[in-house]
Amino acid sequence: QMQESFPFSLLCLQVIKCKAAVLWEANKPFSIEEVEVAPPKTHEVRIKIVATGICRSDDHVVTGALIMPFPIILGHEAAGVVESVGQGVTSMKPGDKVIPLFVPQCGECSSCLSTRGNLCSKNDLCSAAGLMPDGTTRFTCKGKAVHHFIGTSTFTEYTVVHESAAAKIDSAAPLEKVCLIGCGFSTGYGAAVQTAKVEPGSTCAVFGLGGVGLSVIMGCKVAGASRIIAIDINKEKFAKAKELGATDCVNPKDFKKPVEEVLTEMTGHGVDYSFEVIGRTETMTAALACCHNNYGVSVIVGVPPAAQNISFDPMLLFTGRTWKGSVFGGWKSKDSVPKLVADYMKKKFVLDPLITHTLPLTKINEGFELLRTGK
């Protein structure tokens, strides 16, 4: 009765009180708090988060390897349902299933307009302001403004994102699975098929066998690689890597010599493609050195640690190697995410093996402990 007497736009203007995992400072546990989530402004959408993944990049903020302002609501790999929309929103409506995008797609900047780019200039990865595009926040807790994380903030029951930072997906998609398309799966799979453009019959080396590394393996396999060498210091990860397509598994701890030498000997001349999916400078240089000295391609997928530089012999590049980075697998987010969800629905790839545990939001600290211990 009440609803009928109010126009829809007024109903949307309410602040929502809900639970969120707030990180008040670095190297401290997440705190489950009641937060206020403001209504969406022009060209913004408010989303009820149904499922969110824990990604190493979130943990990098906890440890200080990725510098962000505090307090903050982390999380960037999720799926949910639109609760309300601000003025001018045309690409989605309340009730639509969506995936928030930490790399938005404004459609107007140089990267969006180029066929070769996907890192929209409206992203908050590079500026790390922790705010909405208009320079303000939609979250408050205990009277304090709380920062957003890379335009998404998904460790909360409700979040607000810019319209360019959400993609409408198939209404039949299982949100607790396709949330991984919001980061981990797309990032790894795309690094192989989009950024490196792995070719049939090629050899690949994948450093780091977390969810993203396993997704790189899936991409290499789909692309037809004949040999996929999986590298990790945790041998517990080898069985799943093999299940998803790895042909060989290497634990650098088993050898006295540098891992790049081991890989070069295994292949005779180095691999065609290598991927660093950890975020460590030592493995980045090892991945570069292990690929073919003339036509090898090495892709940095893991987020590099803050304030660390790499020293390497420039001869590694002079002979012809290509060293490149890949953000969100090179996908143009708003265009590609719905297609990736459609491919998942058509069983073109699996996501189940990437999910090891399912926990309620209140147990988020346990979830991060599982991540840190490699479980």
Residues near 257 by Cβ (< 8 Å), separated by ≥ 6? Answer: none
Tokens of 165: 């930072």
Active site residues: 55, 57, 60, 76, 183
Q: Are strands 227-231 and 203-207 parallel, antiparallel or unpaired?
A: parallel
Q: Say whether both 81 and 116 belong to one domain.
A: yes
Q: Say if 6 falls within a structural domain.
A: no
- Cα 79 to Cα 38, 276, 313, 319, 360, distances in angstroms: 20, 27, 43, 44, 15
User: Tell me: the pLDDT tens digits for 233-265?
Assistant: 999 999 999 999 999 999 999 999 999 999 999
Same structural domain, 304 and 337: no
Report phi then psi at 56, rounded to 5. -60, -30
Report the distance separating Cα 343 and Cα 330, nearest Å.
17
pLDDT tens by residue, 347-365: 999 999 999 999 999 999 9
Q: Which two tokens stand for residue 63?
A: 């440890």
Domain that holds residue 161: 16-184+330-373
- The model's pLDDT over 130-178, given as tens digits with 9 standing for 90+, comes to 999 999 999 999 999 999 999 999 999 999 999 999 999 999 999 999 9
Question: At which of 325, 341, 363 does a domain end?
Answer: 325
Cβ atoms of 347 and 354 within 8 Å: the answer is no
Domains held by the chain: number: 2
Smallest Cα–Cα separation from 22: which of 112, 103, 130, 129? 130
Same domain, 99 and 122: yes
Give yes or no: residues 346 and 306 share one domain.
no
Predicted confidence at residue 11, as pLDDT, reads 52
Q: Classify 97 as helix, strand or coil.
A: strand
Determine, yes or no, domain membership for 258: yes
- Residue 10 within a domain: no
User: Residue 75: which CATH number?
Assistant: 3.90.180.10
Global pTM value = 0.93
Contacts of residue 292, Cβ cutoff 8 Å, sequence gap at least 6: 269, 270, 271, 272, 321
CB 155 within 8 A of CB 182: no
